[in-house]
Structure 1
Amino acid sequence: MTMSRRLMLHHVRRALLATLVLLALGAGATPEHASATTGAGGTYDDHTITTVLYPGWNLVGWVGPDTPTSELFEAIPALWQVWAWDAESQAYVHGKHDSYDDLPSLSRGMGLWLRIGGGSAVEWSRKVGPDAFAVRLHTGSNLVAIAADGGVTSVSRVATAAYRWNSKAQRFAAYRFGDAELRRGDALWLEVGAAVNWWQTGTSDHAVLFLGDVPVDAREAILGQYERVKDFFVERFGIVTPGPLQYIAPDDEPLRGVYVPEVRHFTFASTGGGLCTERSSSGVTKRVLACTYPNTSSRRFGHGFSLVPEFAQNLHFQLPSEMASASHLPALPTPHWLAAGATLYAETAYVEASEPSDRSWRADSRVHARRVAAALSDLETVEAPAGWIPLSRDETRLAFFAVERLLGIAGEPALFEYFRQLRHAADWRDTFARVFGIAIEDFYPAFEAHRAEAFPPLPHLVDDLREPVLVILDGVPTERGEAIREEFATIRRFFANRFEVEATEFTIFVAPDAEAIQTELISPYVPTSCWVRVYQGAVSIPLDLCTNAPEGLADTHQGLEDMYYDAIRGELSAYVPSSVPNWFVLGVPQYVRAAYADHAGRASYIDHRNWAVSVAEWFRADLLETGVTGVARGGLFWYPVAFLAAEWLADHAGDPALFDFFQRLPETNYRWEEAFEGAFGLTIEEFYEQFEAYRATLTAE
């Protein structure tokens, strides 16, 4: 032991012994050199423990339910005084017969000094609660109860020293973390450098059950994550939860016999089609090891496996039980945004504490929050005839930032204190104002003002027009910005006049460089290429990547007209079945692009058509042979044939029919053959027959 360590230990021992002397003097007596001890010769069953108390001072841990101090004196007639340590104020509080004002009740986790009178030892039998609980440790000295037999190690992360009371020597002795010499109901003095919540796990089982032959290293890795996540939530938020029950097996066979009621979500493995996960509304999850932990040699978890989201959702165990609905949204009156945002806030806290240098999630969430048009107050309740509707991904991100802003006012402990108080609250609004220190009516406008500066909604979401919005960011040369604005206006008129369609719900951002795209929260990352497409309601055009825009955009086949075509198609039908033939999916945008290039004077439509015909004259494979993926067999030679097929359909039914097909897809429940016949006035079989006859007559002009 080093000299500095010996001096520090000597100083602490003297300080603690002096404290004990003060206790005795405060009682009006001199401390006796008695055999004070805790737990010596003690016994217990599942519900009670018996502790031998000796005349003089005894240091014990309170591990029973919350109890009035008066009952302690009734249970121990020889008890003269009880003293407890208030770690927050770093001072003692005490009680004695008929005087309990300073210490009216005893709470689980307390360490207690008991002064026993008389000349002989007494046995004290007491009820105990579950042998897992959390205690709040404050900077400085802490006197805490021990939950279970054995040793303690987890608190060593924050505790600088620990001491036990040695009854025979009437002095403190250092405790070495991990030594299995503690008994349930003992107590420790802990010196702590920073405030933290300490969860003593006791002998409680894990909420992870392995079925079948799960390798030892896989078990260790999964349980390791389980303990890390569990410890984090109790240390950060003071909430103890065993987490969601997890059944994990090497394959799905052992899981088939496990009954999980009310299954609400399941996924399948990417290979073999077997069950991957199955989750119930009660939080019980069945997992297949191949999905959960596929590579034991690399000790990496499978894609998407994390106990963190489910642990965060399971924090609702502290909420009223009615709040554990299938969608994890509250059944009691409380804002949906607050319930969803609290869960995501807890999950994010773990992620950012684990990877403090990785801020990509936060940047991505700001981008998502910009996709929400609704005010936060509109997310108080979301109702549907079938029940509650969970917030969308974007709305949940907005809720996260609202919770973060709220805790900036009230402090992090207020978050789950609010939910605790809801158990007995008649009005959530009163509880909100009392716990967070701000009325909900005042918080809403304050948050909206913050939101308008930090991550405002995309412009097209908040204007009164049903049309796209083009935003020219600072730094873009005036002539470049105006050229793009004029080009986009021309494209919109062309589509409206020729195809009788328009896109409405997106914003185009023209930026001087790629960095500005990230800075303006259009994308969570700096783009590395010119990819002009609508993504989550936004289009980004960084001029340093999209050279000579708009002409350069067209030259790279990523022009504004292609983007506008995709936007229209997406608004007409968000989903296009994979069974729609490739020649149609590829041919229609080719036809539209060629028509616009001719309209804008960039390229001749006749020249493009002659090229397509020249290829089709010698490439005689039947269009029907393409099926869904037949383009791969014909390679690039199918592209001109697909263009001619789209042209034939436009000539047959009119240009608007090409987009009418996409509009009919959702109306026909995505039966594309029915949508095809409705848009073009003939069946797909009739089209193949007529097109091949037409194709045989083609010659270049």
Structure 2
Amino acid sequence: MANLVLADDGGDSIATELYPGWNLIGWVGQAAPVGELFEVISPLDLVGSYDLASASWTETAREERSQSPLILRPGRAYWLRLAGPESFTWIRERGAYNNDVQLREGNNFVAWRALDRVPAASGLRQIRHSVVMAGSWDAASQRWRLAPVPLPFSSWSLAEFNHGEGLWIKASEDTTWRQLTGERPSVSFVGEVTEQQRVEALAELEAYRELFATTFGGVVSGTHVVVFSDIDANLEWSRAVWGTGRARESCGFARSWDIYYTIACGDKSILAHEYFHVLQSAASDWGGLALAPLWITEGEAMYAQRLAASRVEGLEFAELMRSGWQRSQADGRGLSSATDVYDHHQYETGAAAIHLLLQTNAAEELLLYVRRLSEAPAGEHYLASGGDPYSRAVFTEQFGISIPDLDALLGIATPEFGPPLKRAVRLQTQEPPLRLQVQLESPDGSRYDGTAVIRFLAPDPGQHFTELAIGGSSSIPVVAGRYEVQSVDVGGGCQVGFDAPEILVEDKLVDSVWTVRLEATGCDAGVSGTVLGRDGQPLQPRARGVWVELFPESDDGFHWSQATQVVPDAQGRFEANVAPDRYAIAVSPIESGGAVFGWLTEAGLSLVRAHRTILDLRTDSTQEVTIRLPISRTIRVSGVVYDGNGRPAENLTIFVEGSSEGYLRPGSEGMSRGYIGWIQRTDSGGGFDIPFAGQDVVVVLFTEDNCHLGWFGPDGFTNDLSGLSYWDTQDRDIRGLSIHLPPSTCE
């Protein structure tokens, strides 16, 4: 169990191991005569100090300590020479955080006065343009560990900084190094925000940032905060940036490294809640984490919010926690693996659970648990709800108690909400080491001054997308890798064509600027039409409906941009306003997970993408089409799965699949089969109920750990691909299936 003990009254101590020979240490205490070092370090025989202003080196020997004029200054680094063959453990008090270090052009020997285990790339980010070399002295091996800042990280031997460590910094110019958090968040104000409100919001944000750094060990750079005057300003801005369907009427929320906060809601601590979510994102390596249970993610943030309200606003912590706990127990439910963001019961119950954990664990371990989930071996952390064996085992190892036992503790009695813990001693979050800068241009090559949402395909396309709202130009923190621009939305869901190169972000501390040229700045073209079933009538009312998708076509014939999606009304009519460009039209079931009925061609729908008809809205900006589907409704496939012992098989992954006569994913050429329908998990009774659109269907089953079990069709269960059989649905539901699994080869 990684359980750290925090000292009382915040007076944490640090242990510095000194070795025979030279040691480079950072002085983090108050100014003191050099003689104090000789008093506490018995084998010390010489102290060396370098003065950059005079470019001079001075030494103080043990026998000269009482006459030496040398004063140890906070923030400076000193060389200590130890005599004798043995190492020496020096115990000293931890110094204050949040201190600026003045660097001058040339060689600087300074102390690292921030948190422990800060990645060197993160620590040097703020001064990367002013520094050519950084190093720490490895006293055990008597050699340098270096960070040649302009070179790739792979050439660095300096990995991290720790509190009280001495550093050599070779600067190319005079600069100030803010060690605690690097860059402050950038802040935008939207609506009628008064000057007083601006000042208060900035002060609150700075207070929360420092509080979380010293309490939870959370440090992050690259955050952007949008502060709205009221809900109306919030909605107007989000509709313009994200479109009507994605606008959020909310007092506060976070997306990746961005925070959105509405002043008129009146609760200042909401900003602290959302800032903590950014720390969670950073701890998960910016998107590498499958979702933890809601009670953990929101419980941590709610605990941090209450802590901020007590420390910054002066409210009573215990009373805030107690009243929240009482509200959460109205329905008597305990912790849940649910991820429903509107289940506020889990917010308050989770906060109480977090408080219990922190009675025996260091506060920093909250973010450490998030980090450990993101570092799980491939295939281990599979469940998005955190209910899988790996997540539960790591939780028990991390906190010394299992989730069920913690839940049981909460059910015994009302928790005692004493004072919160005070300070963490290790850093558990990290800053994205690089930045991606994007410049938008209008079709004529001039700077585009509007606001746009650019969607990037991230380095691991199977993991996540990166989405950025920018106006003109902006930059975002990213990891190294190749990025492709997927779509550009200039507001209200209007996606326009663009010309953009593949973006390569290298593992260097060097910013790159990439230009995306828009082919249009608005959606003044349109496609309208009618979607009918195979009987020539609109789809039956109980059908789940379809998307009509317009894919922008690139000059090379491949449509990698995100499609514009519209849903026909009850009469099958649809209208789509798009930018003047070339488009292919596909029709997909809403609940299909990406499958298509087919591509629109002059002869009707076709499963072959190469046969698609291209509508050129650049020459004819308004066009009408009629689409006839090969079905009249979507169906449902349901039943119960039993294991080899005849018991209901809970938590299996299950979905339905169409044959080659069914319907394939967009862009799939020559596939023998296509996945169609939602992926579900069997419930506690082994049951499932899945929507499907197509003529032929087979059920596919996987274990909880993603091991393929086999297929189930009209001829029964098989794990042999050659033995597959399909139901011909004829637009009829397939219900009441009873699937009995044979003994599995999955471990």
TM over 0.5: no
The structure number with the bigger radius of gyration is 1
Q: Which has the higher contact order (CA 8 A, sep 6+)?
A: 2
- Between structures 1 and 2, the one with greater helix share: 1
TM-score w.r.t. structure 1 length?
0.35
- Between structures 1 and 2, the one with greater strand share: 2
